[in-house]
Structure 1
């Protein structure tokens, strides 16, 4: 056993060295710098921050480089680092109504107060590879390099609908409710919506995207419209009693999506639109949209609707949405399971022996019956 253990340790050390060599790649190619990843692979950095639940672009870029571009591995690294950080307190709720918007669109109203702002988006690009991107790609002449932001009042679409009761009121938590923290307390089902949204915000984009798509194809009662998507900077504030009130910690970029869904009404609620909500770090609108679709699907019981689809099952969605947990459980299958497998192998052998013995007995009985009949 001792020899096997030592041999395993050496193999693991060699594997680490080989990984480092492959990570660096061809030495004739300049090493990738963190600034390059932050500035040129920004959407990957934003996903690592969002699902890693830690807003730090440089650390997210480091995780992406260390993981050789494997975003789930990068998210795992960010999440692990996050657990080492001290907790000083909880910031105040973000006031996204005061967002310095870089992008703000609505699929429900064409002429919005404050206007629509396309911002940086792939929505209207041709999905064709651009050979010019293979080399240095300078900023096109005549295009302003500075990010365009809007600093003026922009009423939410849901506020417009809410003015005449066409959409459910914005949710208010009971007085004295303390928001949950799924990083500090084990969760139980059923969950309060604040905890569900926390879990969805950290959830795997691909998994939530598939679930959101399933609700649009009939696996759930949703008929969604994008009420509004906003991307921009919001201020983070912390209440510091010793300093006499709120202190600004700086600003972060977030993506917010409010989905508007049709609702035919129930015995206790009139027909109206209902809400699905998504909020994530960085520019991650696909994730925010998927999150808002899943949020509305998970409110099925709240609206006295029947649970008929996977996206409406809280335990199913929340328990399988975290890619760190999912990866760990799937990839642990690569670890040695020699004892377990030998037990399974022995069981299969005994079952096959019993199966063969049972068939032989049946064959003998049939043969005896045949001879008796003759």
Structure 2
């Protein structure tokens, strides 16, 4: 392990395949006060929703993204797809740099990269019938005549477990689970190779969650998709993903294969998240209850961003920002104390039973 090595782990650690997506030093800032006066007096402030994220995704892998609300997960996902314009950094998809492309130049790539929204009620046009919603991407991205499009719409609905006759209905006539199935059908209608699913089951009841999760798993395998799956539910992440990235205050603080994250978490923040789930942390594992609230993303702490809540924090943590350290070639994290033997302090005290989802302890920040 090299404590000063900031190189991002390579895709060869995931099945030996070539990367489909490479992200370097990606930033997305939101201005929170505007106007001439603010600019003149230097009072312009920004929410650093995504702040220097580097990541490589291999072809066909499923990458999980976890962290408290407001940590930047959804903003990162939307920025990867250019649904949000990045403030800085680079996004390379199949060798093409996306950040420099115009909307027109980006259009051919849109069929390759798709998004599954958390709430289909807000993403499906309420004035359009389901058939028309599915027809639009086929018109834009696939060379089909009207007869072929009609057949494809029926086939898509059948593939996601819906009666093809539902193409005549409006979104408000469908249940939450049915609308999410339409959302999935729309995403796969253009034969993508990369999909981001942003909390796709969080708005559904438990029974329907399991059904949608199984459908996404089947679709991922059938289409050989590269999938970024965002979730608060750590049990779901453990079940569906190959690797996991843990976000805190706009930064990736740990990235590793899923089994490693759950069995050998290195970062204190990751350890605290896992300890809150009895089935994962173990019945005898003490919950690590973090003190205080996540810091203000407008005024992030100096040094390590986690030091204000970390039970292991020492003087260096507030002064110097840690670089990425490697436990192994495919396991990296950002912490000054890369050797567990050098750490001091007690990790948590026993507490009452904890919930099975990551507790939302801070306010939402623009698009999460």
Q: Which has the higher contact order (CA 8 A, sep 6+)?
A: 2
Query: Which TM-score applies when normalising by structure 1?
Result: 0.21
Whose helix proportion is higher, 1 or 2?
1
Looking at secondary structure, tell me which structure has more strand per residue. 2
Structure 2 length as normaliser, TM-score? 0.21
Higher-Rg member (1/2): 1
